[in-house]
Amino acid sequence: KGLASNQSAIYEATDAVAGTIEFESGAIFSGQWNFSVNSESELDSCEILGTEGKMSFPIFDHQKIELTTRNGREEMRFQPLEHVQQPMIAQVVQYFLGKSYNPGDGQNGVEVMRLIDAFTS
């Protein structure tokens, strides 16, 4: 389920989206995206909360992961991959050459579109 609107009215596209997904396992996802905030209010953060603690990381920065448990907080840093999409591109090429399976079949695309529609309709 979700909500979407054009809050800024700067352009025609939706610029604010909020959504919730309940997975078959019972896990619940909740996300908010707002593409018209001022630069001081920008926040790039994803948090995964679990029974043993939480993991926090940015979506676009890709350089730091924070893990918080009862034992404290740990920060992990890494260099982002130079060509992060290369493995997927290689797999797609192999599929079109008839040498491998399709890594992104139509059913995956249909499911992604169903989620987007649920959030923005």
Residue 50 confidence (pLDDT): 92
**CA angle, residues 50, 52, 57, in degrees to nearest 5:** 55
Give me the residue label for tokens 């997975």. Answer: 23
Residue 91 confidence (pLDDT): 94
pLDDT digits (tens, 9 = 90+) for 82-104: 888 899 999 999 999 999 998 88
pLDDT of 55 higher than 80: yes
pTM above 0.95, yes or no: no
In sequence order, the 6+-apart residues with CB closer than 8 A to the CB of 37 are: none
Could you tell me which residue, 114 or 48, shows the higher pLDDT? 48
